[in-house]
Structure 1
Amino acid sequence: MTSFFWKPVTRPVVWAVFACALPLSAGAQMGGKVDFDPLPPQSYDAEIMPRADKDLALDVTWTGTRYIAVGDRGHMLVSADGQDWVQVPMPTRAALTSVHFVDEDYGWAVGHDAVILRTTDGGRNWELQQFEPGLEEPLHDVVFLDRQRGLAVGAYGLAFKTEDGGESWEDYEAPAIRNDEFHINRVFPLTDGRLFAVGEYGMLAVAEGWDGEWRRLQPPYDSSFFGGMALKDGGVLVYGLRGTAYVSRDLSAVPDIDPDFDPVLGGGESLEGEGWVEVETGTTNSMFGGVDIPDGGFILVGLNGEILRLSPDLKVQARKNTESESPLSAAQLGPNRELILVGEGGIENAELP
C-alpha cells in the first residue's frame, strides 16, 4: 500500500559525526590530502516507544492469526484483537510503508532506504534482507505469490524481485512499468493469476502472471492512482487522487496506452476510458487504501479520515469520517466487524459505516 503524507525520516549521518571527531593528521594540518574510507551505511534498531500505536502508521494486514501494522521510524506493531497493540523489535529505523503476509508465518515489510525485511514466525522476529540508503528512494509496496516469489516496488520505477524468499533480491526487468520512472504505488495479484500495478500519472499495467510481460493500459484518468483491489470476477477496482475510482470487469477490453498520450501534461481530468466505468464516489478526498468486506463490498479510506462503503455493484452505500479526521492510509476488518484504520494519527478503530 502506498501513502503520500509521510513524515520525513532523517537518515543516520554516521560519516559526518565520525569525520568531525577524527584528529587531523600532520598532512591534513598542513593542507595535504588524507585518504581513508568512510564508514559504510548502517541500519539502526527501531526504538521501542510507549505510544508507538499513536504515531504515523502506513499499512496494516491480517496474517490469519494476528494483525500487523507498520509505520514511521521502523515501528512494527502486533495485535491479536485489533485493539491492544505491542511493538516488536525491528532492525531498522526507516519508515515502513507496506507489509504483506503470504501465510500466517511468512511475511515481508518494505520502506524507506529501499529496506526489505522478512519474518518466518508470524511477525515476532524480523530479519533485514535489504538496506540501500544510497538509492535515496523508498519502496512503496511488496507482494509475494508464495514463500519464494515476490516483488517490491517504489519511487521512480524502483523494483526488485526474488525467487528464493528474499535471500537475494535483483533488479526487476519490466520496461512497461519502469522506463518512465513514475512512482509505482501498488502491485497485487488478480483472482485469475495476473498481476496488476498502479502508479502516478495514470500508470496502470497488467502482466500475465509471474513471468508474463507487462502491458501498459490506457488510463481513464490522467493523474495518480494510489491503490487497487482484485474483483472476484477477474476484474479490478482502482482508486486515487481527488476521490477518483474506476472499475474494469474485463481488462481485455482496455486498449494499450496510446503512444501519443502524455500523462505528465495532464490536469487530473477524466478521459474516455474505454473498458473502464467510473465509480461515483461523491468525494474529492483522495483515497489511499481499501479492504474487502464480507458482503462482497469494499471499504475505501483516505483524506480527512473519510471512509466510503461500496456495495458489491460498486455503489456508495454509506460514508463517514473518523473522529480525528486524520488522513487514513489503510484498513482491515476487525474480529467484531469493526474497522482497524491506520494513518497520520496512528492506529484507530471505527464501526463500519
Structure 2
Amino acid sequence: MATLNTFTPWALAVALTLGGACGGAQAAYVDVLDLPAKASALVVHSALRDVALAGERLVAVGPRGHIVYSDNQGQDWHQASVPVSADLNALVFPTALEGWAVGNDGVILHSRDGGANWAVQLDGRQIGALVAAHYQALAKAHPEDAQWAQFVAEGQRLEQEGADKPLLGVWFADARHGYAVGVFNLILRTDDGGSTWVPMQDRTDNPQGFHLNAIRAVGDALYLVGEQGLLLKWDAGQQRFVALPSPYPGTWFGVFGKPGEVLAYGLRGHVARSLDGGQSWAKVDTGVTQSITAASLDSHGDYWLFSQGGQVLRSRDGGLSFAVQPQVPPAPVAGALQTGANATVLVGERGVRVLPAR
C-alpha cells in the first residue's frame, strides 16, 4: 500500500491519456467481482463518491473498487487492498476499526482494520437467491398470505438478471446491526456484523419500488430517502419503515441533522426541515438550483450543504437559512465530512479536497 503522490492537472491528464491508449484490446474479460482493484498513484485525483471517519482516520470510496485512507487529516493518502473493482458508492464506520462499503453489482465489503484491507461479505450474484429463499420460507409458513408470492417472484427475477444490483447507501448502529439499501426498494439487514443478511422489502412503505438512495440516523430516529419524494422512518412498534409526508415530489439524496432537527436534501437545490421527527416539513430556500448531493454537521452545530455544481453552503441558524461560501473554488461534490478540527473534507469527480477550518 504505497503513499499517493500529488500530480499537476497537466501530468494527470497526460497519465490518463497514455493509460487509455495503452489498454490491451485483447485482454480477456474478468468480472469486476473477481478482479481486485488496481493500485494507482492517481486514485486520489480520480472520482470518489463518499468519505467517512474511522476513528481519526479518513476513508473514501469510489469507482473501480478504489478505497483510500489518510491518517494525517488528508495530507497524505494510501490506497487500500480491495478484492473487487466494482464501483463503490457509500461507506460507514460505526467504530474506529469496523467498517462497511457498498456499491454496484450488489457488493458489500467489510473492513476490520480501519479501512486498510477489505473482504467481500455479499455480492449481487447471491442477492437474488437470498431474497427468493427468504420469501419462499415465509410463503410456506403463511400460505394464506398472498403478498409473499410477489416477493418470491421479485427474488427470482433478481436471480435471473444477474449481479447488476447497485447498493447506494449503508448505515450501522454498531459493529453488529446495520442496513444496506439500493435500487428498486432493495434493502438488507444484518444483526451479526454481516455474516448473514436478511431482505426487508416487505418492511418498507414503498409499494412502487422506488430507489432507496440513503439511510441515516438522526438522534434516535432512522430515516430512508429515495426518488419521487420518498421519505421513510423506522417504526419500532410496527417493525417497518413507514412513509412520511414529503414536501417535494422529486428525488431526495440524503438526510442529516441533530436531535430534534432533521433536514432532507435533494434534486434542484431542494431542502426541507422538520422539527417533529418528519411528521411535518418546511421548505428551506437554499438560493441554488443545483442538486444538493452531500451534507455535514460541524462541531459548532452548523450545517453544511454541497451541490453537484460545487457550491458550498453554510447554516448558522439550525437550517433555517443557508449562505453560499463564495471563497470556496467550485468543484462537484459527492461526499463530505467535517474533521475533529473542523476542516472540511470533500470528495467528487476530481478526487479529494480538504478545506481549512472556518
Which range, TM-score by smaller chain? 0.7 to 0.9
Aligned residues: 294
Query: What letter matches 1:68 in structure 2?
Result: V
Give, in angstroms, the shift of residue 63 of structure 1: 1.5
| Structure 2 SS opposite 1:57 | coil
Displacement of 1:281 in angstroms is 0.6
Given candidates 97, 122, 131, the residue that maps to 1:105 is 97
Task: Give the alignment's TM-score, normalised by structure 1.
Answer: 0.78
Residues 210 and 141 of structure 1, relative CA distance in 2, 3 Å threshold: farther
> Which one scores higher on RCO, CA 8 angstroms, separation ≥ 6?
1
CA distance in 2, matches of 1:40, 1:74: 12
Q: Distance in 1 between matches of 2:305 and 2:54?
A: 20
Q: Which residue identity does 1:59 align to in structure 2? A: D
- Say if 2:32 and 2:86, in contact at 8 Å, map to a contact too: no
2:326 match: secondary structure: strand
* CA apart distance, 1:319: 2.3
Conservation of the 8 A alpha-carbon contact between 2:213 and 2:226: yes
1:51 and 2:25 aligned: no
Which moves more between the two structures, 206-215 or 146-155? Answer: 206-215
Equivalent of residue 132 in structure 1, options 124, 142, 164: 124
CA distance in 2, matches of 1:90, 1:321: 37
Q: Give the aligned residue type for 1:200.
A: E
Find the counterpart in structure 2 of residue 64 from structure 1. 55
Alignment-derived partner of residue 264 in structure 2: 238
**Deviation of residue 148 (structure 1)?**
1.2
Match of 1:208 in 2: 235
Partner of 2:342: 337
Structure 1 pair 119–66 and aligned structure 2 pair: CA distance change class (3 A)? same
Hey, what does 2:326 align to over in structure 1?
A: 320
1:191 is displaced (CA, Å) by 0.7
Q: Is the CA contact (8 Å cut-off) linking 1:310 and 1:318 kept in structure 2?
A: no
1:159 equivalenced with 2:187 (yes/no): yes
Percent of counterpart pairs with the same letter? 32
Q: How does 1:162-181 map to 2 (within 5 A)?
A: 162-181=190-209
**Aligned match of 2:303:** 298
Q: What secondary structure sits across from 1:320 in the alignment?
A: coil
**Partner Cα separation in structure 1 for residue 341 and residue 258 of structure 2:** 24
1:247 aligns with 2:273: yes
Distance in 2 (alpha carbons) for counterparts of 1:101 and 1:117: 12
What's the CA shift for 1:335?
4.9
AA aligned to 2:308 is L
**Residue 93, structure 1, aligned to residue 99, structure 2:** no
Question: What SS class does the counterpart of residue 305 from structure 1 fall into?
Answer: coil
Q: Which runs of 5+ in 1 are unaligned?
A: 1-15, 19-38, 255-274
- Secondary structure in structure 1 of the residue aligned to 2:268: helix
RMSD: 2.2
**Contact 1:195/1:209 (8 A) holds in 2:** no
Q: How far 1:232 moved relative to its partner?
A: 2.1
